[in-house]
A and B are shown apart, each in its own frame.
Chain A
Amino acid sequence: MADDSQRNFRSVYYEKVGFRGVEEKKSLEILLKDDRLDIEKLCTFSQRFPLPSMYRILVWKVLLGIIPPHHESHALVMKYRKEQYWDIHHALRVIRFINDSTPQVDIFLRIHQLESGKLPRNSAFPLEPEDEVFLAIAKAMEEMVEDPIECYWLVSCFVNQLNSKHKDSLQQLPKVLEQYLNIEDSRLLMHLKTCAAMSKLPYDLWFKKCFAGCLPESSLQRVWDKVISGSCKILVFVALEILLTFKMKIIALNTAEKITQFLENIPQDNTDAIVSKAVDLWRTHCGTPAHSV
């Protein structure tokens, strides 16, 4: 790599010793310095290392295609995005779908609906399940991003990516989860199967909402790093790690309803650890991601 010369030569050893991501900020800066950003490299980087929070939004925007790879056009494109947002916002106001008191998340939802042409005839119309997913993700994203326009675009593009790119793989995730659970802890799997809870696990929460509302934002960001950079398998491992972490409690519970209820409201205290372990697990099972997207 060309930028390796500029990186600290010790970074290789850092990784060997076990300090992951000591120099990633610098290397990320190098990556971001390129005109015409190399999206593949960014993807690889994002999969390999946790993103520094100050560059996270930028990287996400680039990866999700909200802004083009050329630095020159960033301002222009963002201007467009902004105008587009406000146009739609205005339109929605005009047609009285939103008003001043409408919560931001709902605004996002309406804008998305309108943009995708799925705006209902009336705002009182009941929400579709995909709208619920959007709302959950938007809520989580709202916590992470300050600017509402950026937030909207991120949410919208994220959801679009989920729906387009990962649609097929998302449906297979439950099976994959079962498979890995069998490898990691067959006893827990047996328990879950005997409770008939395997089919009732909160897959929607985990795989469709990508843990939005399940994990706190700080942890969620790291999961989403991987998802946005193209690997939705991380979701399986986060779910697996959650199951393993709360194994004792889950084994103590006997009915599928209780298990589901518990898993939907897991304690939020050590989610960082869970995510870290999940990332490790993901690495061990899927290997360190190379330049493959």
Chain B
Amino acid sequence: MAQQGSVGELLSMLDSPILGVLEDITAAFKDNLICDRGPMLVNNLVDYYLETNSQQALHILSTLQEPHDKHLLDKINEYMGKAATRLPTLSLLGHVIRRQPSWKHKLSQAPLLLSLLKCLKTDTDVVVLTTGVLVLITMLPMIPQSGKQYLHDFFGIFGRLSAWCLQNPGHVAEIYLVHLHASVYALFHRLYGMYPCNFVSFLRSHYSMKENLETFEEVVKPMMEHVRIHPELVTGSKDHELDPRRWKRLETHDVVIECAKISLDPAEASYEDGYYSVSRKLGTSLKHHQTDPSASYYIDTQSSYGTSTPYSTPRLTLSQMPGQLPQILSPQSIQPSAEPQQVTIWSPSAVCGMTTPPTSPGIVPSESSQSASQPYSKAFGTSAGGKGTPLGTPATSPPPCTSDDFVHVSLPSAAATPPKKEDKPDPGRPLLYRQQNVINSDKSLDTPGSKSSVALSDLPEFLGGLSFEDSAEKDREEDAISKEISEITTDAEHMVPRGGFDSPFYRTNESLSGSQKKTHSVVSSVQGHSQTSEPLTSSLDKPGPESARETPKQTFTPIDKPCGGSGESPAGNREGTSGETSILTPSPCKVPAQRRVVFGSGQPPLYEHLFEVALPKTAYLFVGKKTEELLKKAKGTQDDDCMSSTSPVEVLDRLIQQGADAHTKELNKLSLPSKSADWTHFGGSPPSDEIHTLRNQLLLLHNQLLYERFKRQQHALRNRRLLRKVIKATALEEHNAAMKDQLKLQEKEIQALKLSLQKEQARYHQFQDEHENIVAQLHSQIRQLQHDREEFYNQSQELQTKLEDCRNMIADLRLELKKANNKVCNTELLLSQVSQKLSNSESVQQQMEFLNRQLLVLGEVNELYVEQLQHKHTDTTKEFNMLNAALRKELDKAKLCVQQQSQRLDASQKRIAELESQLAKKDHLFLEQKKYLEDVKIQARGQLQAVESRYKAQKRITQAFELEILDLFGRLEKSSLLKKLEDERAEAAEAAEERLDCGNEDTVPGHSEETIGRNGETKPPSTRGSSSSKGGSGSELSTPEKPQHQRFSSRWETSVLLEPSTTVPLTVGSLPSSKSFLGMKARELFRNKSESQCDEEGVTINRLSDALKTELCKDLNMETKAPPSPDNLSLSPKIQESSVGQLHIMDYNETHHDHS
């Protein structure tokens, strides 16, 4: 609660006059709103606003953020239900919505919309209805998609209200109806623009009913005259236009512009793309007429007369353009191709004059010179507009300002312009013309209505002209950027028809044209044309009489009321626009200067006009005010209004104009600040209900104003976007142009290169030719040289052959020389030889002579000897011969003998060799034989070994057999012994008894022998014989005997080896020795096999056997003792002594040993 209290305090402080407190409070509220999410604060604020209508509260409410929107809407909805608070609530809602809050999409879901619709359907208060409709219209583009569910509600509201306009069931004041009508008109545009198919179908169904037919005829049909066919009607469908995809791409301002495009109403319409074809054609056709560049003044005159006619105005504006441009640039530029540029240059003024204000001043300073040029031009346009308006406004507002003032004003302005227009050949002419106009306006003072109209219609021209003049010098570049501005050109061209349709002014002008004509005719002879043309226009649009006839309707409107209404509204506008103008006019310093000049005229209201011209919408209002004023002056008689053809907006505008004019007129008489005092001054004491009506009217106007402002904002948004596009396009164009330039440059380069290439080629050909020539020359030279060479070659060959010949000759000569030399040598040799021989022969001759002499001497000696011999030795030769022959014969004999001897020797030697070889052979044979023998021996040995092993085996076998036999015999004997023992038992017993008596010692060992076994047995038989010992033991002894035998047999060999007397091979002999009888048999067996081997053995064995036979036959009794005997051979000497047989055996062994 405390908080609530504090909130209350805060609220009370909200409207504090102190600025600082105000800011603090606002900040506090905003903080609270951020912190607190509850509905309380919002509710309080709404309450407070409704109570006090506080602007601060409104501001806070309209800037509410997201979480509070619901509370606000709920609260508004709540108050909407109450009839008392409905109106302020609606206005609050309108304020909020126009702010376009971020939560606007929620509106469609809010119950508020429903209650609004309900209110519109049911309410009867015109003010409420109008306000509501405006709110609805504002809201519609924000919720295009979600609003479709209420589509029929919208249509129903439209139907109701349109009918209301006609029937006026509440019987409210006509002035309200005008407002209502205007708003219904706006609604119509909106609905038709947004949902054409649905709306048309609604219209079709709704107005097909008879009761509605009148409404259609009266209200709806005129409205339809102001719209073109919506393209959606052709291409779209009911469902398609409700398709969310269609709306998704469009923002709120897009929707608004979309709707505006459809409209033909200049107040509503917006021609962006493609809707201007007609007007353009018109413009172009006009341009063709204006080909004469030198007709500048003529054009001026034209313009002067064109002002009076709606048709001529476009012509004027356009013709003035080309007319002036040539003067600036050159005659060539008048060509049609240049015209669009001029048009574009002209456009800014048109823009500022007619269409949406250029609210994008931010771009101006920041952009580069080229791109900035356009804004500049705009700015200049506006400035020019600002400049122009003073010129125009005096005309329109002659009552307040004197004509002298105007002239005064216009002159400085004209004087100010010339320095800029240096290129202008005839600067004075437009100036003059303006002065003419001024004069016209002066004249129009006398005939006020007509004069004002002229000025108004001239306004665009002037604006255009001035703007052009201003911009032309500075913005030559605009020619280059012409395309950029093309969009604006369209606007400019739009303006043309608009100018034609610019109804409020024209209607009034036309109505007053009669008087105007007179003045014109007075002023200029050319004006006569206007007279001819004027009827045309009037007949086209509205005949003057008609309008005059209809004016009475408007005469109702009290002059005072509009004044009151307009008194406030311009002020509001001024406040709103002041910021914008200040932004608009930053660039040129002249403009403010000019303004100052304008202001210097001491006309405070002019100040207002400036702004209002800068903002066309407000300009309308302003102009409307003027007209109203004029109307008021004319006592409403000349006021005209054509309901059927004019749109409700225009009607409203006119109304406002009238009011404003009246108001300003009054105001001009008063001091400016005391507006509040106006009332008393102006209206005197108005009746109370009048006040109420006026208040309502004011309210309605305010609403309308707000709505228009909203529209303007949307347009501004759009403008900005378009401008951005334009800039982009420009940049691209620039880029393109640059690229083209580059391309050109490159082409030039290419051409240059081609040229150089051709040159180079030519040079190359030349070089080639030269080269070929040189080559040919060289070839010929070569040929010649080759020829020479061949000649030389031949010569040299000849010379060589000669040389060869010479060489041969030389060689021959040399040979000859050699031969000669040889001959000489030979001859020399021969000579020496011959000389030698000669000498030799000489010596030989000497010797010969010497020998011959000797021979002669010897011969003589021989002769002497022979004589001697012959005398002395005759017998000795015979004996000698005889001896010689004998000797020879003997020698022959000896030789023969030697021969014989040698032959024998040879033979014997051969024989020896033969014998030796035979011997060797034999030796070899011997060796072989030996080898073979050895082989055989080995073989035999092998066999022998086998045989031997076999033999050994046989021996073993026999041994085994013998053993077995012996064993068996042993057993036999034992058994026989047993029998004997049984026989002798008695005797033995007796004997034993006796022996026991004799010596106990013997029996004891006998007993012990029985128990012990072997030891016992060995000893006792030796002493006493086996009969006594074995008799005692009997069969019991058989068991101990066996192991004894076995052991014996196993140790057989060892025991035999131990004996020194018996040798290994004669073991056989030892065997039978022990067992005399068994040995016999064994011997026989053994003999059979071993007889072949050793005869000696056989002899011994025979002997042995014989001996054994005898011995064994002798003492049979000894047999019993035989088995143990070998066992104890060495052990017991007693036995040897006692037994003779045993000794024999031993003897045998010995003898056998000897034998072997």
Chain A interface residues (CB < 8 Å from chain B): 36, 65, 67-70, 72-73, 76-77, 80-81, 83-84, 87-88, 91-92, 94-95, 114-122, 125
Contact = CB atoms under 8 A, between A and B. Distances in A.
Contacts of A68: 938-939, 941-943, 945-946
Given A65-B945, A69-B938, A91-B957, 5 more contacts: A67-B942, A70-B939, A80-B947, A87-B957, A95-B961
Given A70-B939, A73-B942, A122-B1046, A117 B956 contact: yes
B743 interface: no
A83 B964 contact: no
A117 B1045 CA distance: 16
B943 A80 contact: yes
A69 B960 contact: no
Contacts of B952: 115
A131 to B, nearest CB: 13
Interface in B919-955: 935, 938-939, 941-943, 945-947, 949-950, 952-954
Contacts of A80: 943, 946-947, 949-950
Contact of A91 (B942, B945, B961, B967): B961
Contacts of B953: 84, 87-88, 114-115
B698 interface: no
A156 to B, nearest CB: 10
A36 B939 CA distance: 9
Nearest to A81: B946
B601 interface: no
Contacts of A73: 939, 942-943
B935 A95 contact: no
Contacts of B938: 36, 68-70
Contacts of B947: 80
Contacts of A83: 950
B949 A84 contact: yes
Nearest to A91: B957
Shortest 3 CB-CB distances between A and B: which pairs?
A68-B942, A121-B1046, A91-B957
20 contacts: A36-B938, A69-B938, A69-B942, A70-B935, A70-B942, A73-B943, A76-B943, A81-B946, A84-B946, A87-B950, A87-B954, A91-B961, A92-B960, A95-B961, A114-B953, A117-B956, A121-B967, A121-B1049, A121-B1050, A122-B1046
A87 B206 CA distance: 154
A114 B946 contact: no
Nearest to A157: B949
Interface centre among B945, B959, B960, B1053 (most CB of A within 10 A): B960
A91 B1046 contact: no
A52 B105 CA distance: 111
A81 B946 CA distance: 7
Interface residues of B, number: 28
Given A83-B950, A121-B1046, A88 B939 contact: no
Nearest to A119: B960
Nearest to A65: B945
A94 B943 contact: no
B691 to A, nearest CB: 128
B963 interface: yes
Nearest to A83: B950
B943 A88 contact: no
A105 to B, nearest CB: 19
Contacts, number: 83
A91 B960 contact: yes
A121 B949 CA distance: 22
Contacts of A118: 1050
A202 B961 CA distance: 39
A40 to B, nearest CB: 14
Contacts of A76: 943, 946
A120 B1046 contact: yes
B1002 to A, nearest CB: 32
A36 B935 CA distance: 8
A77 B946 contact: yes
A77 B943 contact: yes
A121 B963 contact: yes
Nearest to A125: B1046
Contacts of B1042: 121-122
Interface centre among B943, B947, B1042, B1045 (most CB of A within 10 A): B943
A91 B1089 CA distance: 15
A83 B950 CA distance: 8
A50 B380 CA distance: 128
A67 B935 CA distance: 15
Contacts of B956: 88, 114-117, 119
Interface in B1045-1078: 1045-1046, 1049-1050, 1053
B954 A95 contact: no
A117 B959 contact: yes
A244 B179 CA distance: 126
Interface centre among A80, A114, A125 (most CB of B within 10 A): A80
B964 A95 contact: yes
A88 B957 contact: yes
Contacts of B961: 91, 94-95
A72 B1049 contact: no
A30 to B, nearest CB: 20
A248 B956 CA distance: 51
Contacts of A72: 939
A293 B1050 CA distance: 36
Contact of A77 (B942, B960, B1049, B1053): B942
Nearest to A68: B942
A125 B947 CA distance: 31
B185 to A, nearest CB: 115
A258 to B, nearest CB: 38
A83 B1046 CA distance: 28
Contacts of B1050: 118, 120-121
Contacts of B950: 80-81, 83-84, 87
A68 B963 CA distance: 33
A80 B949 CA distance: 9
Contacts of B949: 80, 84, 115
Nearest to A70: B939
B1046 to A, nearest CB: 3
Nearest to A94: B961
A95 B935 CA distance: 41
Contacts of B1046: 120-122, 125
A186 B1045 CA distance: 54
Contacts of A67: 942
Interface in B1024-1044: 1042
Contacts of B939: 68, 70, 72-73
A65 B944 CA distance: 12
B1068 to A, nearest CB: 13
Contacts of B946: 68, 76-77, 80-81, 84
A117 B1046 CA distance: 13
Contacts of A122: 1042, 1046
A36 B936 CA distance: 10
A94 B941 CA distance: 31
A72 B947 CA distance: 16
Interface centre among B939, B947, B964, B967 (most CB of A within 10 A): B939
Contacts of A81: 946, 950
Nearest to B950: A84
Contacts of B964: 94-95
A68 B943 CA distance: 7
Nearest to A95: B964
A70 B946 CA distance: 13
Interface in B948-996: 949-950, 952-954, 956-957, 959-961, 963-964, 967
Interface string B421-437: 00000000000000000
Contacts of A36: 935, 938
Interface centre among A76, A84, A120 (most CB of B within 10 A): A84
A89 to B, nearest CB: 10
A65 B956 CA distance: 21
Contacts of B1045: 121
A76 B855 CA distance: 114
